Amino acid sequence: MNRTNYYPETVIVIPTYNEADNLPKIVDEISNLGIRNIGFIIIDDGSPDGTGKIADKLSNKFKGFFKVIHRKEKMGLGTAYVEGFMCAVKNKAKKIIQMDADFSHPPEELISINDLLDSTDIVVGSRYIDGGGVDPNWSLLRKSISSFGNFGIRLLMGLDTRDVTSGFKGYNSYIFDKVILSKLKLKGFGFQAEVAYRCQKEYFSVIEHPYVFIDRKLGKSKMSFGIIVEALSKLLMIRIRG
Ligand SMILES: Nc1nc2c(ncn2[C@@H]2O[C@H](COP(=O)(O)OP(=O)(O)OP(=O)(O)O)[C@@H](O)[C@H]2O)c(=O)[nH]1
Ligand SMILES: [Mg+2]
């Protein structure tokens, strides 16, 4: 197959920072789901554990579309997604699905998300609708922080979507004609709500698809207090300025 002339129908966009143990496993699971004409875009921020090199090896092995974007240092989830989505659009992907590398987003749900994208503009993997949920091992405190945080951001931004901080989402790529990627501002997990806000302003149709968020088994979380402060302060500014 001539990979230079090969356009994927569905592209899975995965940002990675120190995911050496997870990345090969998740690519393997996703590849075996039987989704037609699937491709991958991995955005690695110079992971000290060698995830970038592992991604290159996977790219050489994979038969279809597989791009690895290497950035020198850790620059945040939001900017990684922007580069990944831009690359997907440039390569004429029809559907773009974002997910984490750490198995918190169950790969098997991709089948439904991919199918649902035929009947709606956007699909949001949702923890906060019937059938969705979070890891049963979470303490009541952690569950409360997560759901109140989500509810607070939803209220702040005036969003209809129930799971506004979801990082498990699919888009028909034409939405990025209206939601201008270079204008997105948030670097951390608040990026998810910023995209949800921009999509709602353009009246795109959204279907929420339930999934259960499972805690990572391998590797470490990159969530930090700074990322939460960024989300709240910048989202407030976006809401005020529109
Ligand atoms: N390229 C890139 N990827 C990142 C960055 N920060 C996190 N990631 C990746 O983004 C995904 C989500 O990051 P996690 O560390 O799991 O953060 P989280 O899901 O918000 O936190 P947990 O709930 O603890 O898992 C994973 O695939 C990470 O490897 C970053 O700055 N750059
Ligand atoms: Mg995670």
DSSP secondary structure string for all residues of 70-106: E-SS---HHHHHHHHHHHHHHTT-SEEEE--SSSSS-
For position 230, what pLDDT does the model report?
80
| Model confidence band, residue 9 (pLDDT cutoffs 50, 70, 90) | very high
Q: Give the residue, by CA position, lying nearest to ligand 1 atom 28.
A: 16
State residue 232's pLDDT score: 79
C-alpha of residue 223 to centroid of ligand 2, in Å = 8
Q: Per-residue pLDDT averaged across 213-239, rounded?
A: 78
Are the C-beta atoms of residues 198 and 115 closer than 8 Å to each other? Answer: no
CA of 165 to the centre of ligand 2 (A): 12
Contact 102, 135 (CB under 8 A): no
Atom of ligand 1 nearest to the CA of 79: 32
Beta partners for 12?
Answer: 40, 97
Can you say how many angstroms the Cα of residue 149 is from the centroid of all Cα atoms in its chain?
Answer: 19
Say what the pLDDT of residue 223 is. 61
| Whether the predicted pLDDT of 152 surpasses 60 | yes
**Model confidence at 3: pLDDT above 70:** no
Ligand 2 centre and the CA of 104: distance in Å?
A: 6
Q: To the nearest whole percent, how much of the chain has pLDDT over 70?
A: 95
pLDDT at 2 over 60: no
For residues 33 and 226, give the distance between their C-alpha atoms in angstroms, rounded to a whole number.
36
Least confident of 62-71, 173-182, 216-225: 216-225
Overall average pLDDT of the 32-50 stretch: 97
Which pLDDT band, with edges at 50, 70 and 90, does 60 fall under?
very high
pLDDT exceeds cutoff 60 at 174: yes
Which band of pLDDT confidence, cut at 50, 70 and 90, is reported for residue 236? confident
Q: Which of 98, 87, 102 is nearest to 221 (CA)?
A: 102
Q: What is the DSSP letter of 17?
A: S
Q: Whose CA is nearest to atom 30 of ligand 1?
A: 76
Instruction: Please indicate, yes or no, whether the overall pTM of this predicted structure exceeds 0.95.
Output: no
Q: What DSSP string runs through 136-181?
A: TTS-HHHHHHHHHHHHHHHHHHT---S-TT---EEEEGGGGGTS-G
Task: Return the CATH number of the domain spanning residue range 3-241.
Answer: 3.90.550.10
Say which residue, 144 or 115, is predicted with more confidence: 115
Cα–Cα distance for residue pair 15/41, rounded to 1 Å: 8
Probe target for ligand 1 pocket from 26, 43, 77, with the most ligand atoms within 8 Å of CB: 77
